Amino acid sequence: MKAIFVVYNQAYNQEIVELLEHLGQRGYTVWEEIGGRGSVDGEPHLGNHAWPTQNHALLTVVDNALALRVMEALRQLDADNPKLGLRAYVLPVEDAL
């Protein structure tokens, strides 16, 4: 199993959830109103007067084969909208309850 941690511009929220549902992944956890700044480029998303945009984050645990499909779909979404900001990380899940 793999955990996929996704941090994204709040504008993506519905698209990310729909992407998971389309791929058959029901379970996830979302954190809203997260501030941050990318390490490469793009504007900060801090939720303040100067930088009003914010990020959301999502964590989902999937089987290995689905992790590849989710990452492929996320890469395409990011390529289609490179200025919005989307990062995703795949981590091994050693145990789960």
pTM confidence score = 0.89
| Nearest Cα to Cα of residue 7 among 76, 80, 72, 89 | 89
The yes-or-no verdict on residue 23 having pLDDT over 90 is yes
Domain boundaries, the chain: 2-92
Per-residue model confidence as pLDDT tens digits over 47-73: 677 766 788 999 999 999 999 999 999
| Nearest Cα to Cα of residue 97 among 61, 56, 69 | 61
Helices of type H across the chain: 13-22, 64-80
Fold for 2-92, please state it: Alpha-Beta Plaits (3.30.70)
